[in-house]
Amino acid sequence: MKVPFVDLQSQYQGLKPQLDAAISKVIEESAFIRGRFVAAFEDEYSKAYGVKHCISVADGTAAIYIVLKMLGIGQGDEVITTANSWIASSETITQAGARVVFADVEKDYYNLDPDSVAQKITPRTKAILAVHLLGQPANLEKLSELCKKHNLLLIEDCAQSHFATYNGQKVGTFGIAATFSFYPGKNLGAYGDAGAIITNDNALADKCKTFARHGASSTNKHDHVMEGINSRLDGLQAAVLSVKLPHIHEWNARRAQHASAYTRLLNEVPGIITPKIRENCSHIFHAYVIRVKNRDAVQEFLNKNGVATSIHYPTPLPLLKAYAYLGHNENDFPVASAYSKDMLSLPMYPELTDDMIQFVVDTVRKSVSG
């Protein structure tokens, strides 16, 4: 048996008639840039999230950058974010003109550690960028308290956490704004790059929309009220996302069921540490991550024996060459540094079968037993 890390083809086959029809309609109408398909998805997503505004953009990275810029974050400001994430969470801070400040992660949940964040706050700190990593909500209660205490902005990076909840409230609705990626492998994925911003702040929504459309006013694309960028969701991706959106809760539920099966079976395997779920939170399991010693050898064994895997992420962000100028070492981020050496992501997608999960577990067992 072979178990891929992600199986987008299976998902496509399950929705083939609807997806093919939606794509064909976009082509028939030549509605490739903006247009009714984009407007429809923005309306559908904002309603699904229960927020006033959804501003679609080209990708999740652009979404973060646009929010930072339109909040006025720039030269002289600092933004605190996690040491364990994809570089989009940090590079956008620098690109906006601010200084990125990294904090360590929680031992149990791999997300931004509020205690570490508290130690990094200075008079220059303007915002906290909380990443809900792997599908698990960050500690929004404590992070929100820190923001309130120090008059900081809370921005949520929800690229891996579509519709996850914290105490019954959707992640992405706690801060001033939230950003999403719809990269093909996400829980809600397009067939190319795609992203969005959600917010209940009318003024911020208008600014983000204007900036992402070359700074053009909403009534006249030739009337540029500011210098902006070109970051637009295309009609094909919007149509695909509109077909998929009604299925996201079912897909998230299946992921959670698969995660439960993995955990039940893997807890019987010596040397494997399975993921914990934060109390009163829903984890949507964008990735199912175990910790295991000799991770690289285990990964090699799995890959050779039909189980595709990945690593989220092999190097903590502050230890990348891109951030050498900050002068950090592993001791500055002990949890993130330690976990980067033993975290391993197993196959996770709604179409997994019981037999596939059992095969993955059996292969993991063999890999650690000898």
Q: What does residue 335 show for φ and ψ, rounded to 5 degrees?
A: -70, -50
Residue pair 336/280 in contact by the 8 Å Cβ criterion: no
Q: In whole angstroms, how far apart are CA 255 and each of 113, 141, 226, 250? A: 25, 25, 43, 9
Structural domain contains residue 178: yes
CB 163 within 8 A of CB 138: no
pLDDT digits (tens, 9 = 90+) for 22-54: 999 999 999 999 899 999 999 999 999 999 999
Q: Is 193 within the bounds of a domain?
A: yes
Task: For residue 287, give its domain range.
Answer: 247-369
Query: What does the pLDDT look like over 292-318, one tens digit per residue?
Result: 999 999 999 999 999 999 999 999 999
- Token pair for 20: 């093919």
Average pLDDT over residues 77-86: 98
Tokens 């094909």 belong to: 236
Q: Which of 69, 176, 97 has the alpha carbon at shortest distance from 130?
A: 176
The domain boundary, picked from 206, 228, 246, lies at 246
Residue 29's identity, in one-letter code, is: E
Asked if 93 and 186 sit in the same domain, the reply is: yes
Residues 157-176, mean pLDDT to the nearest whole number = 98
Looking at the fold, whether 48 and 97 belong to one and the same domain comes out as yes
For residue 76, give both structure tokens: 């002289």
Mark whether 146 and 230 lie in a shared domain.
Answer: yes
Six-digit token pair at 147? 């923001």
Pairing label, strands 165-166, 281-282:
antiparallel
According to the model, what pLDDT value does residue 97 have? 98
- Do 210 and 262 share a domain, yes or no? no
The pLDDT tens digits for 195-223 are 999 999 999 999 999 999 999 987 788 88
Residue 183 resides in a domain: yes
Is the Cβ–Cβ distance between 109 and 83 less than 8 Å? Answer: no
Q: Determine the residue type at 330.
A: E
Domains of the chain: total: 2
The answer to whether residues 232 and 297 belong to one domain is no
Please give the share of the chain, as a percent, with pLDDT higher than 70.
100
Domain shared by 201 and 325, yes or no? no
Residue-wise pLDDT for 250-260, tens only, equals 999 999 999 99
Residues 50 and 141 in one domain: yes
Residue 35 placed within a domain:
yes
For residues 49 and 193, membership in a common domain is answered with yes
In angstroms, rounded to a whole number, what is the distance separating the alpha carbons of residues 113 and 128?
A: 12
Q: Looking at the structure, do residues 242 and 264 belong to the same domain, yes or no?
A: no
Say which residues have a Cβ less than 8 Å from residue 252's Cβ, sequence separation at least 6.
162, 163, 164, 187, 282, 284, 285
Task: Cite the beta strand spans of 274-352 per DSSP E.
Answer: 281-282, 288-291, 343-346
Distance CA 274, CA 370 (A): 20
Determine, yes or no, domain membership for 262. Answer: yes
Domain boundary among 205, 227, 246: 246
What is the phi/psi pair of residue 107, to 5°? Answer: -70, -35
Could you write out the DSSP letters of every residue in 21-52?
Answer: HHHHHHHHHT--BSSHHHHHHHHHHHHHHT-S
- Asked if residue 240 has pLDDT above 80, the reply is yes
> For position 335, which CATH number holds?
3.90.1150.10
**Whether the predicted pLDDT of 278 surpasses 80:** yes
**Residue labelled with tokens 């940090």:** 90
Output the domain CATH number for residue 120.
3.40.640.10
**CA–CA separation, 117 vs 134, rounded Å?**
20
Q: Are residues 256 and 232 in the same domain?
A: no
Residue at 1 is within a domain: no
- Do 153 and 33 share a structural domain? yes
Determine the 3-state secondary structure of 128 from DSSP. Answer: strand
Count of CB atoms situated within 10 Å of the CB of 151: 8
Q: Evaluate whether residue 2 is within a structural domain.
A: no
pTM higher than the cut 0.75: yes
Q: Is 338 in the same domain as 228?
A: no
The last residue of one of the domains, among 230, 246, 262, is 246
Nearest CA among 362, 350, 130, 345 for reference residue 248 = 350
